[in-house]
Structures are given as C-alpha cells and as structure tokens.
Chain A
C-alpha cells in the first residue's frame, strides 16, 4: 500500500524520520507527533503528482506540518496541561541518558511560544535560511531573526536550568 510506484512511498520512507523529529520537537510528545505527521502527509498525498513534478515536496510538507501544528495549538491550547515528566515509553535499546536528554530537550522547547518553537525548529533543525523560514511560515524575515534568536536563547536557558536542577 505504501508502494513506491508513484514516489510517494519513497518520499515518506526517506523523510519520515525527519518529519517525525520535527513534529516531536513541536508537539513535545510522540503520539501527537505521529498524528501530526500523518495529517501533514494527508495534505501532501492528493497533491503529490504535481508536487513531485514541479515543486519541493519536503518544503511543502514542512509548511503544511507547521501550519497544522499551529492550528492544533490554537484549537486545543486550553486543554494543554503542563506536566513534570513526559508520558513517553522508554525503550530497552534507549539508554537512560538518551531518555533523560530527550525529556530535558522537550521540556526546554516547551517553554517557547508555538510560533517561536516553529522558527527554532526550522532554522536550527532543518537549517533553513532566515529568508526560507520566513517564506515557509508566511512571516517577515525580521520576525524570523528576532524570534529565532530569542527562542534559541530561551530554550538554551531553560535546558541549562533543567540540567542544573536534575544534577542537584
């Protein structure tokens, strides 16, 4: 079903880790990340033929993903409950340090407002330029500059605080 005859299956296979990582950093939990990626790909699928012929499917997917994420946040923000630790299953292969680091990173990212989080992820995870990030988010380059700088600083500060706290 996910065959690669039209290239969509290949695209998903090649990019799903990257998309899931993006979605996970945005949403902060794995279940929502998977749902977000599926919803995003639901937007990509009907346009696949055209996208693969003349577009940049990955950039389109990133835009759709961020757009969907921001919309979800708008709709459900009042139900968001801050939690101390993430209800995410550990895995036998994953070392303790990796689980802790993952938890700390997501907690650090969670202090950022949604749009700032999106800027940080696009700029520093995907290495989009400021202009590309602005085009993807539909905002001004200046906003990307300020939101990116401040978002990164805030996330770093939070991560440092969390690390310090857990080492006590």
Chain B
C-alpha cells in the first residue's frame, strides 16, 4: 500500500467508523433550553460584576462596602433548600490551593442565605461547587466575572471558580441560584428566572511569594504602560526558529521521512512533561507568558509591535489592542514534529510582545465572509521584541483570557 492509499484508507476509517449507539434525543431543543438558561444567568453575572467591580483593586482583603460586612457566619446555618420539591438539595464547595493540585480539597458545605463562612483561596487556587439532591440540575452560580471559570453541566458540578494569577487579592461574592422554570413555584422558587439561594464570600489571598502584579513591573496591559518601557533602536536580526518553521511549513516531508513517521512505533511517544509554573506567568495552555526580567530592553518598541500585530491572523479581523505586555514567551506548539513522533518547540524563552485584541468578526469561508461573528473570542499575536517578527497568532475563547 502506498502512503497515498494509506491516507485514503485512514480518511475512510474516520468517516465510516461506527459511533457509539447513544440516543441523541432532541438536540436542538436541548440547545435552546441551555441557551435560555445561559441568557438568564448572564444577566445575573453582569449585575454581580457591577456590584463588586471595585473588589480587585482593593488590596489586601479590605472589607468592602456593600451588603456584606463580615466573613464570619452571622446566622445559624440553614439548609440550602428546606421547603418544596427542592428540599434536601445541597451544595458543597471544594477548595484547592492550585489548579491541578494533588491531595484532597478542603470541603465546605454551603448553607442558605448569607450566613456562610468566607472561602479563602490563594491566587492560583480553584473552587468548584458540587450539588446533590432533587434540584441539583437546576442550580447555577454567578459572581465577579474575573473569578468565574467554566460553568459545567456535566454531572453535578455546577461551576468552577478559578482564581487566576492576574486577579488581585481581595474579596468577591458568589451567589448560588436556583433556576426557576414555568412549572416551579413551590416555595423554593419564584418563576420566572432564578432565586438566590446562598451567598458566599471568596477571599483571594496573595499567595506566598511576590504578588503576581508586581512581577510585571507596572505593566497593567495598557498601551501607556507598555510605552513606558525603555526600548530601541528597532528590529534587529531574525529569529532562526521562524525560518525553521517556515521551512517546515513549506516543505512537505520527504518520502523517507514519511515512511519512518508512518511505520508502527514500538512504544507510545512519551507525553511532554508539564512545565513548572513560573510565578506570575500567564498560561494559555500550550503557550505561556512569564514576566520579563526587570532589566529587559526590547529592541522593538510597543507602538511598532502593535502595528506589526495589527496585520492580524488569517481569517480574523482584529481591533485596537485591549492588552499589551512585554513578556518572556514559550510555546509547546507550534513545534517541529520529529520523525519519531516527538516534537521540538520552536519558541522557548523569547522576549516578546503579547498583543491581545478582541476578535471583531470571524471569517469562516474562503470568500471573506466575515459578518456573522463574533464567536466569543479574543486573539493574541506574539511579536519577537528583538526582531519584530510575528511568532504566533492565536484565537482563544474569551473566558480563557477574561481574567487578565
């Protein structure tokens, strides 16, 4: 069989393999229902954001004005839902010190009303809420947007609070709510909409080291802050990794390379180890931006980097930047793919400008149809701060970057 035949054979397999025989039900109906629930919830989140938006600027742990004044319980603990068809529904907060941290999470039961003890979590920590009982699948949560992670409908995990590094120490309030459908109205719910069941403060501590914000040497993401960084004289030289990547992407693998890549490997390639997190690092998955050294002196100044980034990626129309920072950039991908299936990243510890912009529109066809966006997304372009070459352009979902 030639490599070409084998390609066709593999493509046929992708198309023909039998899917698991799981009933799909009324998928469109399910999507509409989730859409309505999300729309209701989004309204609550927006309101919550407005009421506690000052939290992140108050450092550290200052008690805020507003309807809450004490992290300690002020009333006897009450069940989350005591009456009606939802009686017996419970919510538990699971708190870990860091995303992916090993060991058992600290578990706190959430009681109804405002009498919950505050949840203390360090920067980089994670809280997730799990629900149990008759109305577990109708629970949601809302809160200060930069603290909110993914709301999951899988199982009874009703939401994650991921305290990202960019969140300053401070306090925010998370509200657990019961979604109320038309059939509700049994005393636990006031339809239509959602009833707030419990409020719980989240206190974000600064962790053990230097606050993440300080490591960025005053860079707050604004163009003004980026322009204050000493720079010049202008682009110089070229990054050899860019040339390597261009060679890789323009030259098809040779027949010999293809044969070696297509030959059965005796062992499964070992996954690359997870890099050790750097304090203050902005981590987008396979791409990471670490704070630059204090003495970093980019040859390319911020305004030029923004201009270079504005050329934009294929298929995405970018607007003015919404975040610009000088950083030390590393990426697991893009990478050179070796014949044994392993990969060698092109870019490791490159002083670079990270330019983030909102994706105004998404072009999804070859004819430049761009008017039906946006997919909720941001994009970022990484510009080599020495050579001025664009290293990477990426589009990511908005909530992956929302905690800037």
Residues of A at the B interface (CB closer than 8 Å) are 1-3, 8-9, 11-13, 16-17, 20-21, 24-25, 30-31, 34-35, 37-38, 41-43, 45-47, 50-51, 54-56, 59-60, 63-64, 67-68, 70-71, 73-75, 77-79, 82, 88-94, 98, 101-102, 105, 111, 113-116, 120-121, 124-125, 127, 131-132, 134-140, 142-143, 145-147, 149-150, 152-161, 164
Contacts and interface: CB of A to CB of B under 8 A. Distances in A.
Contacts of B27: 2, 12-13, 16, 37-38, 41
B263 interface: yes
A59 B365 contact: yes
Contacts of A17: 19
Interface residues of B, number: 82
B162 to A, nearest CB: 8
A9 B28 contact: yes
A60 B14 contact: no
Given A1-B26, A138-B393, A154 B337 contact: yes
Interface of B: 3, 6-7, 10-11, 13-15, 17-22, 24, 26-35, 38, 99-100, 149-150, 153-154, 246, 248-250, 252-253, 258, 261-266, 268-269, 271, 274, 284-286, 313-316, 332-335, 337, 341, 343, 362-366, 369, 371-372, 375-377, 379, 393-397, 399-400
B395 A138 contact: yes
Contacts, number: 240
B100 A74 contact: no
B261 A12 contact: no
B32 A45 contact: yes
Most chain B CB within 10 A, of A11, A75, A125, A158, is at A75
B154 A60 contact: no
Nearest to B13: A105
Most chain B CB within 10 A, of A124, A152, A153, is at A153
The 6 closest A-B pairs by CB, nearest first: A74-B285, A142-B249, A2-B28, A1-B29, A91-B21, A71-B397
Given A13-B27, A74-B284, A143-B249, 10 more contacts: A42-B34, A74-B396, A91-B22, A102-B19, A131-B366, A135-B364, A136-B364, A138-B379, A146-B248, A154-B261
A132 B366 contact: yes
Contact of B286 (A56, A60, A74): A74
A64 B31 contact: no
Contacts of A54: 369, 371-372
